[in-house]
Amino acid sequence: MKRFISIFILITFIFTLSGCRKSKQELNELGVVLNSGFDLSSDGKYIFTAQILNTQGDTAATSKNNTNETSSDVVVFSALGDTPYSAANNLGESYGKPLFFGHSRYIVLGENLASSGLSLFIDSLLRIRTTRPDTLLLVTKGMAADIVKASTSNERIPSNEIENIHKFQNVKGYSPMVSGLEFANSLSNKTSAPILGTIALKNKYGTDNTFDVSGTAVFKGDKLIGFMNDTETRGVQWVRGRVQGGIILGYFSPNKLISFFQLQSKSKITPILKGNSISIQIDIKSEGNVVEMSAPLNPMKNHKIMYELNASLSNAIKNEILAALNTAQKKYKLDIFNFGNTIEQKYPDFWNKNKKNWSSIFPNIKIDVNVTSNVNRPGVISKPVK
């Protein structure tokens, strides 16, 4: 009996392997896309640009792209199409291999495309089985193709560098990390406004390319309507509880700076309903250390100075949050914080009565910000050198 069972399992295993044989493809038979970008041409065509792993190590392949900016480890191709999928399909045909997106780190979207609307792009991204729904999306103010084609001296594969910068900036709160699936979920939520991180290409000292991955792109529906700067972006991330590092400047007096290194932060958003009026309370808890100080303070002689340092850090954080709230409420009039979802969870009856009017309620809603900071260490030295 045991022998019969063993033979049965072996036969089943063999048939299972043979069933997968046709789906197996070698790496050199695929166009492995490391990152890509989509733009919109003046006549409404989709421009797809892909950075593809050069599995053959053929430096001559680089010249085929008519650019001298890419390394021999990658090649860059572009193609046009009436839709995002047709543009990618046309590129695969010209490259001569099926494209594989399983290793794609991010997708860059040009400003023209983002402003015209991303609904068809998102539909294509989530519908095709070879693409990953958790692929990060970034918006650039120029052409996405310029970002995809660019290279730096730091990494032979540019997508590695951008991925590292993006993660680093996200920890500091300067860039939100939003995937295609998360963006789609925001689109389906009719009361919250989608956001994406931004990327730009900078030239350092006129010699080498560098990538600036910071800032926020704000959408109304699926259309880009504007941008938020670094300070406003970190204000949004404070509210979301996403800031876990980085430097923030505080003041002891108008001319005396204190630099704090942020260790961690937590955020709590509480809706408060009084009668028919709703308000939002944001509570932030933060921890940090002093890394620079020009103010004439000596915590070793007077421990009460630590309370002043706590207050300075709290005020600095609060100012960034208020800047973000002001931009969201007064400039864009869009709930990029997803306050509506928090209200719905706590006060479902109120929300059901007012969700249709949330776009007019949000710009005028009262929002209280309370920041409690704890400075752990004033530094190795107690008072300023001078």
The 10s digit of each residue's pLDDT in 105-133 is 899 999 999 999 999 999 999 988 778 88
Q: What is the pLDDT of residues 307-332, one digit of tens each?
A: 888 999 999 999 999 999 999 999 99
86 and 202 together in one domain = yes
pLDDT of residue 386: 61
Residue 249 domain-assigned (yes or no): yes
- Coil, strand or helix: which one is 129? coil
Q: Which helix (H) or strand (E) covers residue 81, if one does?
A: strand 74-81
Q: Give me the chain's average pLDDT, please.
A: 85
What percent of the chain has a predicted confidence (pLDDT) above 90?
A: 59
Q: For residue 278, what pLDDT is reported?
A: 95
Q: What integer pLDDT is reported at residue 30 of this predicted model?
A: 84
Residue 308: inside a domain, yes or no?
yes
Per-residue confidence at 70, pLDDT binned at 50, 70, 90? Answer: very low
Per the domain annotation, does 150 fall within a domain? yes
Of 30-44, 68-82, 228-242, 269-283, where does mean pLDDT reach its minimum? 68-82
The tokens for 228 are 């938020």
- The verdict on residue 86 lying in a domain is yes
Is 7 a domain residue?
no
pLDDT band at residue 61 under the 50/70/90 scheme: very low
Percent of the chain whose predicted confidence (pLDDT) is above 70: 84
313 falls within a domain: yes
CA dist 322 and 319 (Å) reads 5
**pTM for this structure?**
0.85
201-210's contacts with Cβ under 8 Å and 24+ in sequence apart are 201/140, 201/142, 201/146, 201/147, 201/150, 208/152, 208/153, 209/69, 209/150, 209/151, 209/152, 210/152
How many other C-beta atoms are found inside a 10 Å radius of the C-beta of residue 302? Answer: 11
In the predicted structure, residue 38 carries a pLDDT above the cut 70: yes
Are 221 and 235 part of one and the same domain? no
Tell me if 9 is assigned to some domain: no
- CB neighbour list of residue 171: distance below 8 Å, 6 or more residues apart: 243, 244, 245, 246
Domain final residue, candidates 228, 259, 291: 228
CATH number at residue 369: 3.30.300.210
**Boundary (domain end) residue, out of 208, 228, 248:** 228
Q: Check whether residue 205 and residue 311 sit in a common domain.
A: no
Which residues form the domain of 210? 28-228
- Record the tokens describing residue 304, joined without a space: 């009460």
**Residues 115 and 187 both lie in one domain:** yes
Say how many C-beta atoms besides its own lie within 10 A of residue 359's C-beta. 16
Under a CB-based contact definition with an 8 Å cutoff, are residues 53 and 73 in contact?
yes
**Residue 83 and residue 193 in one domain:** yes
- Residue 234 and residue 173 in contact, taking contact as beta carbons nearer than 8 Å: yes
Is residue 166 in some structural domain?
yes
